[in-house]
């Protein structure tokens, strides 16, 4: 039944990562194209941005489905499917984003050509007969004609019905078409274009060279247009295989030898003494050897021309030295580097494939490739060869791997790897007073997000800038006056003051500046603690706390040990810890300073890395969140739903390294966070688990604070200090705020370590943008008025990803503007947040640090 789509019908859906930046959110979609007039039905699965326009996704559809002959202007988005329901869409403005029309993760989009759309373009192939004496024309459509249809046409036209299908081979001028694997693919997907020629070859029947065919590997040899089969055990070395093939070639010498496995993936033949079995080649499988065969005389001439070290025309058992090789060094965050060689004639895409085949785990992603001063563009240079980029033999290529974000968000912001924007765009940013971003120095997003949060705390920033403004105004009177007075306080304090100055100075001195590189503060923090000198990702809270502590110490030393620094005035309050004896009910209280509240979170969900091995042998890595009190069956169910294939639940076998896992196993018994799902040919006996009850109430900051300040029994025994008691009891403890800080920092303790398992707690906590009232957590005797205990949110530091790798971003309120606008700071990228999106952007399940300012001391800074 078709339904009209109500206003934004999908936004109530509970999707993972509720707080992820909607401007950068990656969503999984299925795109379907249906042309009823010509019987064309196609689909493709893609990952894209939620902010892509309807026009943009239409162009992607036509590109991915190889429908380049259809103008995007005549194709309309007519519907969207979700959870088995279809909604009609009427999109009149194609510049609207998918998010604006209500499309979310997991949707299926339906496209149809309009009534005035032209018919599909008809193309033509010239097919050459096996004996090359006859040619026929084959009419076909890019949108629907498959390789199997072409094969049937050829069999009928050339009367090849009596010949076994596996003996009929089709070739273009450049390569052979794989009929067995690609039969269902459209010709347009196989890079076949209009007016091309297809050559038909009939190979002789395969001659069995072994009576134990199933125990041998079948090597299909292709050279100079000829083919033959050799059978060898899977314990044969590469050298042994080449020797056997050489015997078949008799008086010809094989060169440019390459070997591919059953799925046509080329194997690395650097080690000629490696056996076939070590490549995963099993008995009975077919592999493919391609090479050129030259006469001995020709090969001798080639060897002489190339100054070969040997003039022997027979096949050597040792590979010849390559004079066009370069060394590739793969650098990993933790593991030792891996090196290999490649030719300068190879393309960048071949280099990338070689590098990816050596990545030790799927949590790493290729970040950068460079050679000396040459930086390779991983997007635009893929089809260029290394020599074209200026790389010469014997050069060294560095391939740098980094941890990837499991939610498709790079640790290093994309803007940091791009060149500067055009002047027009920079000026438009300056005109709209977008605050300045911070350049990522290599996994330094933790530092950038913490610095942006602190920089948007008005009283702290005013403290530094007022002194610098006065110094700056006196520069004309005293040329020797130091530009930064805080350099005399300390290295870190001077660097922090310099950063604040640069974040606010653009409008006065540099109108085209939209990002600042915080080299100085990172270098000085690294000198104080080696953790912050490395390019490894660190904890934003630990960095911020360490930074404030150093500034406090440097200011205190400069002011002759005056402890009442700006850091203490703003960030420190006092908390009372009261321990009550459960026997005599006497209380023992202590007062301690606090600079933040670390709030424990109740785990509601648990995250697993799923390696999914399909029936075709391909493996995919997927992140799945599931309620913590669930069973393995709930995990499989969530995985199937994430793939939009509910029936997949019945065809999955769950494995751990020590064996199969029962679907009824509680997740609490799974100690690790990695499982293997193997797709089965036949349906398993999997029984769907009972649905889990949803939490009755969502977590809120008020609830968390109530629990944090509530009474609790301590785990260990405690001896009462009262003279008339002195008993060992399990005491009761309660925390209460004694004095309130001007700036309240709340940390959600998202990173846990339980039973040897490190995990991130993904629990969503709802928190207020304004009016956080802490009066009830103060002692009843407190002299603070009600207004003195009200806080408003001014900044948030978010962590997206897992405990193994992720990305930090900051949200902060710019109080220098009249409307107190919120901005998102993603390293050098700074974007404004619409007021209508506060609930989804600023209030987030990724929130890690909250920065609240007491309302009675809030005042705007003049410029930032």
Q: What are the Cα distances from residue 593, in Å, to 223, 235, 741?
A: 80, 70, 10
Let me know whether 494 and 562 are in one domain: yes
Let me know whether 748 and 652 are in one domain: no
Q: What are the Cα distances from residue 849, in Å, to 30, 362, 796?
A: 36, 29, 6
Inter-residue contact 809 to 798 (CB < 8 Å): yes
User: Could you give the CA distance from residue 49 to residue 99 in angstroms, rounded to a whole number?
Assistant: 9
**3-state SS, residue 780:** coil
Let me know whether 524 and 660 are in one domain: no
Let me know whether 559 and 639 are in one domain: no
Instruction: Tell me the pLDDT tens digit for each residue of 527-536.
Output: 998 889 887 8
User: Could you give the CA distance from residue 544 to residue 460 in angstroms, rounded to a whole number?
Assistant: 14
What pLDDT score was predicted for residue 861?
A: 41
Q: CA 339, 342, 344: angle at the middle one, nearest 5?
A: 135
What pLDDT score was predicted for residue 505?
A: 65
What pLDDT score was predicted for residue 37?
A: 82
Q: Is residue 96 part of a domain?
A: yes
Residue whose tokens read 């913490």 = 450
Instruction: Tell me the pLDDT tens digit for each residue of 273-329.
Output: 677 877 778 888 889 998 877 654 444 444 444 433 333 333 333 333 456 788 888
Residue whose tokens read 């003039």 = 311
pLDDT band at 12 (very low <50, low <70, confident <90, very high): very low
The per-residue pLDDT of the chain, averaged, comes to 78
Let me know whether 578 and 525 are in one domain: no
Residue 249 tokens, joined: 């070639």
Q: Is residue 13 part of a domain?
A: no
Q: Is residue 432 part of a domain?
A: no
What pLDDT score was predicted for residue 545?
A: 93
Let me know whether 330 and 346 are in one domain: yes
User: Could you give the CA distance from residue 260 to residue 264 in angstroms, rounded to a whole number?
Assistant: 5
What pLDDT score was predicted for residue 696?
A: 55
User: Could you give the CA distance from residue 608 to residue 218 in angstroms, rounded to a whole number?
Assistant: 40
In the chain, the largest separation of any two C-alpha atoms, in whole Å, equals 115
Among 37-51, 64-78, 171-185, 402-416, the range scoring the smallest mean pLDDT is 402-416
**What mean pLDDT is predicted for residues 639-645?**
87
Q: Is residue 811 part of a domain?
A: yes
Let me know whether 520 and 556 are in one domain: yes
Question: Euclidean distance between the first and final Cα of the chain, in Å?
Answer: 55
Q: Which residues are CB-contacts of 412 (< 8 A; sequence separation ≥ 6)?
A: 367, 402, 440, 442, 443, 445, 827
User: Could you give the CA distance from residue 794 to residue 705 in angstroms, rounded to a whole number?
Assistant: 19
User: Could you give the CA distance from residue 581 to residue 709 in angstroms, rounded to a whole number?
Assistant: 18
Let me know whether 496 and 550 are in one domain: yes
Q: Are strands 176-177 and 619-627 parallel, antiparallel or unpaired?
A: unpaired
What pLDDT score was predicted for residue 756?
A: 55
pLDDT band at 852 (very low <50, low <70, confident <90, very high): very high
User: Could you give the CA distance from residue 28 to residue 108 in angstroms, rounded to a whole number?
Assistant: 9
Residue 94 tokens, joined: 């194609």
What pLDDT score was predicted for residue 522?
A: 92
pLDDT band at 698 (very low <50, low <70, confident <90, very high): low
User: Could you give the CA distance from residue 496 to residue 498 in angstroms, rounded to a whole number?
Assistant: 5
Residue 568 tokens, joined: 């203490």
Given 368, 400, 432, the domain boundary residue is 400
Q: What are the Cα distances from residue 757, in Å, to 424, 606, 663, 671, 672?
A: 50, 12, 21, 7, 7
Residue whose tokens read 């009939």 = 202
Nearest to 466 by CA among 513, 501, 516, 493: 501
What pLDDT score was predicted for residue 636?
A: 93
Total count of domains within the chain:
7
Q: Taking 70 as the threshold, does the pLDDT of residue 634 lie above it? A: yes
Nearest to 234 by CA among 259, 256, 254, 252: 259
Residue 616 tokens, joined: 């075709």
Nearest to 435 by CA among 32, 860, 831: 831
729: left (phi over 0), alpha (psi -120 to 50) or beta: beta
What pLDDT score was predicted for residue 6?
A: 36
Q: Is residue 18 part of a domain?
A: no
Inter-residue contact 366 to 296 (CB < 8 Å): no
Q: Is residue 307 part of a domain?
A: no
Let me know whether 450 and 520 are in one domain: yes
User: Could you give the CA distance from residue 661 to residue 432 in angstroms, rounded to a whole number?
Assistant: 57
Q: Taking 60 as the threshold, does the pLDDT of residue 17 lie above it? A: no
> Could you tell me which residue, 704 or 474, shows the higher pLDDT?
704
Q: Taking 70 as the threshold, does the pLDDT of residue 73 lie above it? A: yes
Q: CA 416, 420, 424: angle at the middle one, nearest 5?
A: 140
Residues in the chain, total: 864
**3-state SS, residue 791:** strand
Alpha helices by DSSP H, 664-803: 701-708
Chain-centroid distance, C-alpha 335: 20
Inter-residue contact 750 to 760 (CB < 8 Å): yes
**3-state SS, residue 673:** coil
Nearest to 197 by CA among 136, 243, 265, 258: 136
Inter-residue contact 504 to 433 (CB < 8 Å): no
Given 400, 424, 457, the domain boundary residue is 400
CATH number at residue 643: 3.10.20.90
User: Could you give the CA distance from residue 369 to residue 387 in angstroms, rounded to a whole number?
Assistant: 15
**What mean pLDDT is predicted for residues 594-606?**
85
pLDDT band at 211 (very low <50, low <70, confident <90, very high): very low
Percent of the chain with pLDDT over 70: 79
Given 679, 708, 725, the domain boundary residue is 679
Let me know whether 726 and 853 are in one domain: yes
Inter-residue contact 320 to 303 (CB < 8 Å): no
Inter-residue contact 700 to 633 (CB < 8 Å): no
Among 655-664, 670-679, 694-703, 762-771, the range scoring the smallest mean pLDDT is 694-703
User: Could you give the CA distance from residue 49 to residue 28 in angstroms, rounded to a whole number?
Assistant: 9
pLDDT band at 166 (very low <50, low <70, confident <90, very high): confident
Percentages helix, strand, coil for the chain, rounded to the nearest 5?
Answer: 25, 30, 40
Q: What are the Cα distances from residue 739, in Å, to 574, 576, 577, 854?
A: 5, 9, 13, 12
609: containing domain: 605-679
Q: Are strands 821-826 and 805-814 parallel, antiparallel or unpaired?
A: antiparallel
Count of other CB atoms within 10 angstroms of residue 292: 13
Let me know whether 285 and 225 are in one domain: yes
**3-state SS, residue 664:** coil
Q: CA 54, 55, 57: angle at the middle one, nearest 5?
A: 65
User: Could you give the CA distance from residue 340 to residue 556 in angstroms, rounded to a whole number?
Assistant: 55
Instruction: Tell me the pLDDT tens digit for each residue of 222-254.
Output: 876 678 888 888 778 787 888 788 888 776 777
Let me know whether 731 and 812 are in one domain: yes
Q: Is residue 456 part of a domain?
A: yes
Task: Compute, in degrees rounded to 10, the torsion defined by CA atoms 48, 50, 52, 55.
Answer: 100
Eight-state DSSP code of residue 727: -
Highest mean pLDDT: which of 15-24, 481-490, 497-506, 691-700? 497-506
DSSP 833-853: E-GGGHHHHTS-TTEEEEEEE
Q: What does the H/E/C string look like for 15-78? A: CCCCCCCCCCCEEEEEEEEEECCCCEEEEEEEEEECCCEHHHHHHHHHHHCCCCCCCHHHEEEE
Q: Packing angle between helix 491-504 and helix 458-473, nearest 10 degrees?
A: 90
Q: Is residue 5 part of a domain?
A: no
Helix (H) or strand (E) holding 340: strand 338-343
């Amino acid at each position: 039944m078709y339904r009209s789509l109500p206003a934004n019908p999908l936004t109530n859906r509970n999707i993972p990562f509720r707080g992820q930046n909607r401007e950068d959110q990656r969503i999984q979609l299925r795109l379907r194209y249906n042309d009823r007039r010509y019987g064309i039905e196609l689909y493709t699965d893609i990952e894209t941005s939620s902010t892509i326009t309807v026009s943009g996704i239409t162009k992607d559809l036509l590109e991915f489905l190889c429908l380049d002959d259809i103008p995007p202007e005549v194709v309309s988005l007519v519907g969207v499917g979700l959870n088995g329901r279809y909604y009609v869409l009427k999109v009149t403005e194609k510049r609207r984003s998918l998010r604006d029309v209500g499309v979310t993760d997991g949707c299926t989009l339906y496209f149809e050509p309009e009534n005035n759309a032209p018919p599909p373009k008809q193309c033509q192939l010239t097919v050459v007969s096996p004996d090359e004496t006859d040619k026929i024309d084959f009419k076909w459509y890019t949108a629907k004609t498959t390789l199997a249809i072409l094969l049937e046409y050829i069999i009928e036209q050339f009367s090849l019905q009596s010949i076994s299908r596996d003996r009929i081979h089709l070739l273009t001028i450049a390569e052979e078409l794989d009929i067995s694997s690609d039969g269902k693919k459209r010709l347009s997907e196989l890079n076949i274009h209009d007016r091309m020629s297809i050559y038909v070859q009939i190979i002789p029947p395969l001659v069995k060279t072994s009576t134990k065919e199933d125990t041998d590997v079948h090597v299909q040899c292709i050279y100079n247009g000829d083919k033959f089969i050799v059978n060898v055990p899977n314990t044969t070395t590469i050298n042994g295989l080449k020797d056997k093939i050489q015997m078949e070639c008799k008086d010809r010498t094989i060169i440019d030898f390459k070997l591919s496995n059953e799925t046509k993936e080329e194997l690395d033949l650097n080690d000629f003494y490696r056996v076939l079995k070590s490549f995963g080649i099993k008995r009975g499988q077919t592999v493919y050897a391609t090479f050129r065969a030259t006469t001995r005389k020709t090969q001798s001439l080639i060897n002489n021309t190339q100054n070969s070290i040997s003039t022997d025309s027979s096949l050597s058992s040792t590979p010849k030295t390559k004079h066009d090789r370069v060394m590739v060094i793969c650098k990993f965050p933790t593991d030792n580097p891996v090196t290999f060689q490649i030719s300068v004639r190879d393309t960048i895409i071949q280099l990338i494939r070689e590098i990816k085949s050596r990545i030790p785990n799927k949590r790493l992603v290729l970040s950068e490739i460079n050679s000396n001063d040459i930086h390779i563009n991983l997007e635009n240079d893929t089809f260029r060869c290394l020599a074209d980029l200026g790389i010469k033999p014997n050069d060294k290529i560095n391939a740098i791997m980094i941890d990837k974000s499991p939610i498709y968000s790079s640790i290093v912001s994309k803007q940091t790897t791009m060149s500067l924007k055009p002047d027009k765009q920079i000026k438009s940013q300056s005109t709209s007073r977008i605050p300045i971003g911070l350049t990522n120095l290599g996994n330094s997003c933790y530092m950038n997000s913490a610095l942006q949060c602190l920089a948007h705390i008005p009283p702290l920033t005013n403290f530094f800038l007022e002194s610098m403004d006065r110094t700056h105004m006196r520069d004309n009177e005293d040329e020797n006056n130091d530009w930064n007075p805080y350099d005399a306080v300390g290295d870190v304090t001077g660097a922090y003051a310099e950063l604040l100055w640069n974040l606010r100075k653009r409008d006065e001195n540099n109108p085209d500046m939209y990002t600042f590189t915080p080299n100085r503060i990172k270098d000085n923090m690294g000198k104080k603690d080696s953790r912050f000198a490395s390019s490894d990702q660190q904890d934003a809270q630990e960095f911020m706390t360490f930074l404030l502590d150093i500034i406090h110490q440097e200011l205190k030393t400069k002011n002759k040990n005056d402890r009442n620094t700006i850091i203490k005035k703003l960030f420190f309050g006092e908390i009372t810890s009261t321990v009550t004896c459960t026997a005599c009910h006497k209380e023992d209280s202590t007062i301690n300073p606090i600079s933040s509240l670390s709030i424990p979170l109740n785990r509601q969900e648990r995250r697993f890395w799923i390696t999914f091995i399909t029936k075709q042998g391909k493996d995919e890595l997927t992140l799945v969140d599931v309620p913590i009190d669930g069973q393995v069956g709930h995990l499989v169910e969530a995985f199937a739903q994430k793939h939009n294939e509910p029936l997949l639940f019945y065809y999955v076998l769950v494995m751990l390294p020590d064996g199969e896992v029962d679907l009824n196993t509680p997740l609490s018994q799974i100690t690790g966070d990695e499982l293997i799902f193997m797709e089965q040919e036949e349906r398993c006996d999997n029984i769907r688990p009972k649905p889990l009850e949803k939490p009755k109430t969502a977590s809120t900051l008020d609830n968390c604070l109530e629990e944090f300040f509530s009474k609790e029994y301590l785990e260990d025994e405690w001896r009462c200090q009262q003279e008339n008691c002195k008993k060992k009891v399990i005491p009761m403890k309660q925390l209460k705020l004694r004095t309130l800080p001007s700036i309240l920092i709340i940390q959600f303790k998202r990173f846990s370590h339980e039973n040897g398992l490190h995990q991130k707690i993904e629990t969503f906590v709802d928190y207020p943008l304004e009016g956080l009232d802490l009066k009830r957590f103060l002692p009843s005797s407190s002299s603070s008025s009600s207004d003195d205990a009200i806080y408003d949110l001014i900044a948030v530091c978010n962590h997206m990803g897992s405990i193994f790798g992720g990305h930090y971003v900051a949200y902060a309120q710019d109080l220098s503007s009249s409307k107190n606008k919120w901005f998102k700071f993603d390293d050098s990228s700074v974007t404004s947040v619409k007021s209508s999106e506060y609930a989804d952007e600023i209030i987030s399940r990724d929130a890690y640090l909250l920065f609240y300012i007491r309302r009675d001391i809030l005042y705007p800074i003049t410029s930032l």
